[in-house]
């Protein structure tokens, strides 16, 4: 069986259409924070105002991971290691095998409330989520 030019053109168009549909399907999903698997997390360290607090594995750590897993409203790209010129709360995770995860930064500014994950994205959150996450930070005494 010989393939003529018309069949090649039709096959190329079908392949291109399939690739476009695949790209559209991938782009349509929400981008979430890139979080470690809960089973890999030994503890979380939260730093605010020069004070740090470690949350060991257990219910409080599970609650923190659960709250962060719901963040999916990416608003813009992150191009820095940390938020620039903003007071923030730093959240990091110690993982099994002596590994650590990327840091997350919680902050508010004149545009709203955000979580920034360096080089992954800046995610918009509402004030209720901000307050909930702020509750995990060390208290300034």
Tokens of 6: 């018309």
- List, edge to edge, every strand of the sheet that includes 41-48: 51-56, 41-48, 89-95, 104-109, 112-117, 121-125, 74-76
Q: What is the pLDDT of residue 127?
A: 96
The Cα angle at residue 28 between residues 110 and 35, in degrees rounded to 5: 65
Helical residues (DSSP H) of 29-126, grouped into ranges: 59-69
In the chain, what are the domain boundaries?
A: 38-134
Average the pLDDT over 68-91 and give the result. 90
Residue 104: pLDDT band (50, 70, 90) is very high
Tokens of 96: 């099994």
Tokens of 49: 């105002």
Residue 85: pLDDT band (50, 70, 90) is confident
β-strand partners of 119? none
pLDDT surpasses 70 at 80: yes
Please name which of 118, 122, 92 lies closest in space to residue 108, comparing C-alpha atoms.
Answer: 122
pLDDT tens track for 3-54:
676 666 665 455 444 454 444 444 445 788 899 999 999 999 999 988 999 9
Q: Which fold has domain 38-134?
A: Immunoglobulin-like (2.60.40)
127, 113 in Cβ contact below 8 A?
A: yes
110, 104 in Cβ contact below 8 A?
A: no
- Classify residue 19 by burial, with Cβ atoms within 10 Å: 0-12, 13-18, 19+: exposed
Element housing 17 (H / E):
helix 5-28
Instruction: Name the least confident of 3-17, 74-88, 107-121.
Output: 3-17
More confident position, 28 or 100:
100
């Amino acid at each position: 069986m010989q393939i003529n030019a018309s069949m090649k053109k039709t096959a190329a168009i079908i392949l291109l259409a399939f690739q476009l549909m695949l790209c559209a399907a991938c782009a349509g999903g929400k981008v979430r924070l890139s979080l470690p698997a809960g089973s890999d997390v030994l503890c979380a360290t939260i730093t605010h105002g020069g004070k740090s607090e470690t949350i060991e594995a257990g219910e409080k750590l599970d609650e923190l991971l659960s709250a962060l897993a719901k963040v999916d409203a990416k608003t813009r790209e992150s191009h820095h290691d940390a938020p620039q010129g903003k007071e923030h709360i730093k959240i990091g995770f110690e993982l099994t095998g002596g590994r650590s995860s990327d840091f997350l930064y919680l902050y508010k500014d004149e545009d709203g409330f955000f979580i920034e994950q360096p080089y992954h994205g800046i995610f918009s959150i509402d004030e209720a989520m901000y307050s909930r996450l702020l509750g995990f930070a060390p208290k300034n005494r």
